[in-house]
Structure 1
Amino acid sequence: MVTPRILSVIMLMVLFFIAGCTSTANTGAAPSDVLSLQSGAGAGASDGSLRLVKSLPAPAGTRDGAEQLLSANDVLEINVYNADSLNRTVQVDSSGLISLPLIGVRTAAGKSVRQLEQELEKAYGASYLQSPDITVFLKESASQRVTVDGEVARSGLYPVSAGTTLLDAIALAGGFRDVADQSKVYIFRDVGGSKLVANYNVEHIRSGRLANPRIYGGDVVMVFTSQSRVAINNLKEALGIAVNASRLAVIP
């Protein structure tokens, strides 16, 4: 039979455990999973090591996030004004190339839409058209997806667009699970060959104390577990079992 005294001891032990977890969480230290990936590489490291930073810059070549870079498997709609026979819908191949009439194979991956437009206008204008006006439209983007994993309702790969934020990404994944630590949300990003990660406190973002960071295609959002919330859930389960046992014990 589980007595009230035993229940009190169980509660006291769990409360001490919660206090220990909370004091650790409030230090602001990164989870060991993140720290173990760091190699101590300095700024601008390009050796593939992961580096913890205070905040993440926009991906390289995007004019500080104002433009999106094309990548393999993107589908482009290319329209040449007053030359409909040259209009094409093409897919960037695995090598980052596209093939167009008259000017042949061109590199698209790693360039912004505007850069590609200017290069195509130059190529067509060199030998075939006078003052060509070319529009490139990104019809489908295979690269503009973000991975949301960890303590969210629906982990997975989600499409993002210009202006998508961290809160948007969390919402796409169905929000936090009840054991999520909203102060330990990490965004991983590849910036110019360097792998960077930064910690964002979603509670502070929602209260307006921190800016809501933008999310880019290729980012990985990881939500870590709150050990104190896990302990509380375990306590509820333990108390539920103990109370049920007590009731069963007194049944004649």
Structure 2
Amino acid sequence: MTKALSSVLPALVACLWLLAGCTSTANTGAAPSDVLSLRSGATSTADGSLRLVKTLPPPLGTEGGTEQLLSPNDVLEISVFQAESLNKTVQVDASGRISLPLIGVVQAAGKSVRQLEQELEKAYGKSYLQSPDITVFLKDSAGQRVTIDGEVRKAGLYPVTAGTTLLDAIALAGGFRDIADQNKVYVYRDVGGRKLVANYSVEKIRSGRLVNPRIYGGDTVMVFTSESRVAINNLKEALGVAVNASRLAVIP
């Protein structure tokens, strides 16, 4: 090691350890402050707006996660058996309603496809059809999307299906960045008006020590920064600069 490099290296290492101590606030700007407080040991925020839970329950009305709930802006194809004049493609409006021939306005958002089919059959059977057979097909869903943010390669809004898991969601976003902490992956969910968040370890999921959780439309997945990985990357960069500087210093 050259004299120039040996003289500057201790100071670089000391500075990098100081930087590592500040990494949690310097590199998690996308994370809400209430989640940072939850990470420190609290089970809920001061105003009760967000609660940390061990495992997230499925959204209400999804029959334990087997059904998807309809949302505003979803596009539905409604078919009435042997009554083609009543067939219609409709979009759920901002208030969650659809308008259909004969029966008028019907609330759709917040219900499963199966629930809506049953309600339509009841409405048409009450005054217009005998034993109607109605099928509702979800053609396009604005609500079945998940936000993936933080230390992933392609943060954004992605569509999900009935079988999407947390590992699937991470894959949709291109996987983790080099400085991601795979033990600090937070999933946010609104369950019956309550805002819940759970911390999942992807390392444990991949090793089979933890169940791969289901992801639902409306969820937000946030991947936090690994403080140690940032410090190591900074150290590598600083050492590279120091080595290059020492080489220039000995050029005759």
**AA aligned opposite 1:136:** V
In structure 2, what is the Cα distance between the partners aligned to 1:130 and 1:14? 79
Say if 1:93 and 1:15 are closer, same or farther in 2 by CA, change over 3 A. Answer: closer
Say if 1:20 and 1:39 are closer, same or farther in 2 by CA, change over 3 A. Answer: closer
**AA aligned opposite 1:77:** E
Alignment deviations for residues 116-141 of structure 1 (CA, whole Å, 9 cap, x no partner): 10111111111111110000000010
Alignment deviations for residues 50-86 of structure 1 (CA, whole Å, 9 cap, x no partner): 0011110001111110111111101000000000010
The aligned counterpart of 2:26 is none
The aligned counterpart of 2:68 is 68
The aligned counterpart of 1:156 is 156
The aligned counterpart of 1:34 is 35
In structure 2, what is the Cα distance between the partners aligned to 1:39 and 1:201? 18
CA contact (8 A) 2:20 2:227 kept: no
CA contact (8 A) 1:14 1:231 kept: no
Say if 1:40 and 1:174 are closer, same or farther in 2 by CA, change over 3 A. Answer: closer
Say if 1:108 and 1:176 are closer, same or farther in 2 by CA, change over 3 A. Answer: same
**Aligned residues: percent identity?**
76
Is 1:145 aligned with 2:182?
A: no
In structure 2, what is the Cα distance between the partners aligned to 1:168 and 1:34? 23
Say if 1:2 and 1:169 are closer, same or farther in 2 by CA, change over 3 A. Answer: farther
CA contact (8 A) 1:39 1:49 kept: no
In structure 2, what is the Cα distance between the partners aligned to 1:6 and 1:18? 20
CA contact (8 A) 1:7 1:239 kept: no
The aligned counterpart of 2:80 is 80
The gaps in structure 2 that reach 5 residues or longer are: 24-30
The aligned counterpart of 1:223 is 223
TM-score, normalization by structure 2:
0.88
- By how many angstroms is 1:17 displaced? 5.9
Partner SS, residue 3 of structure 1 = helix
In structure 1, what is the Cα distance between the partners aligned to 2:120 and 2:84? 15
Is 1:177 aligned with 2:157?
A: no
Is 1:207 aligned with 2:196?
A: no
Aligned length: 241
Say if 1:87 and 1:19 are closer, same or farther in 2 by CA, change over 3 A. Answer: closer
1:1-252 counterparts in 2 under 5 A? 3-6=4-7, 8-10=9-11, 13=14, 34-36=35-37, 40=44, 49-252=49-252
CA contact (8 A) 1:71 1:109 kept: yes
